[in-house]
Amino acid sequence: MLVLENVDALYGKSHVLHGVSIEVRAGEVVGLLGRNGVGKTTTLKAIMGMVRRTSGRITFDGRDLAGVPPHGLAGLGIAWVPEERRIFRLLTVLENLRTGLDRPGIAPARREQLLEKVYSYFPILRERRSQGGGTLSGGEQQMLAIARAMMLEPKIILLDEPTEGLMPRMVAQIQEIVHALHRDGVAILLVEQNVPLTLDAAGRVYIMEKGAVRHHASAAELRADQRVIHEYLGV
């Protein structure tokens, strides 16, 4: 469904991605692991058309994404939950969720259904629906960011380090949500530094180092033999 072939990307003159090839099939959870600064976020930004690319191809359902503007990507079924979460702090939880519904051709009844579905995934967001986004805890803000992405009814969610900085209880809840999305048939490209979570949630895993994919294996293989993980992640 989502295919990156030999993607090179730059920030100004600084060459960050070197021939990155990654594939995510429909309904698949794929992990992208690597230490700080190896190019994980840049890979997601390349998909979103937010960095300059010099070579390679990115396609979604066979369609070349070059030249598709970021808002067009949502229409194709690609949702992005950035590292820094970017919820609207001054809007209420419900208003934040409604921004995900702000698109043409969606019937009012469907909007209500989607809200109910998201609240069933995240009961805490129902409780907090009238609160300002900025008053939520870090974990709740992460939930809101994922919930808002779900309102787009995406085929794939690009999740950038969703558990970073969260307490263990919240990490477990995010892990549950990833499983639930998977059961619902939503594909996920999961960028993480949490190795156990990634090996639990993903079917296949890519490991990056210095702007390139160095290793690709099934999560089962990596669980059975963690040497590559030690080598590239030092954990």
Ligand X SMILES: Nc1ncnc2c1ncn2[C@@H]1O[C@H](COP(=O)(O)OP(=O)(O)OP(=O)(O)O)[C@@H](O)[C@H]1O
Q: Where do contacts with ligand X occur on this chain (CB under 6 A)?
A: 11, 14, 16, 34, 36-42, 83
Q: How far is the CB of 224 from ligand X (least distance, A)?
A: 26
Per-residue DSSP letter, 132: B
Report the partner that residue 36 touches, choosing among ligand X, Mg ion, none (CB closer than 5 to 8 A by kind). Answer: ligand X
Q: How far is the CB of 19 from ligand X (least distance, A)?
A: 15
Phi, psi for residue 14 in degrees, rounded to 5: -90, 115
Per-residue binding string, Mg ion, 3-42, x by CB under 5 A, is: -------------------------------------xx-
Per-residue binding string, Mg ion, 37-76, x by CB under 5 A, is: ---xx-----------------------------------
Beta-ladder partners of 20: 7
- CA pair distance 69, 195, nearest whole angstrom: 33
Phi, psi for residue 210 in degrees, rounded to 5: 45, 50
Residue that has been written with the tokens 């060459």 in this structure: 15
- CA pair distance 114, 110, nearest whole angstrom: 6
Report the partner that residue 61 touches, choosing among ligand X, Mg ion, none (CB closer than 5 to 8 A by kind). Answer: none
Beta-ladder partners of 192: 33
- CA pair distance 51, 127, nearest whole angstrom: 38
Q: How far is the CB of 193 from ligand X (least distance, A)?
A: 6
Q: How far is the CB of 131 from ligand X (least distance, A)?
A: 29
List residues near Mg ion by CB under 5 A: 40-41
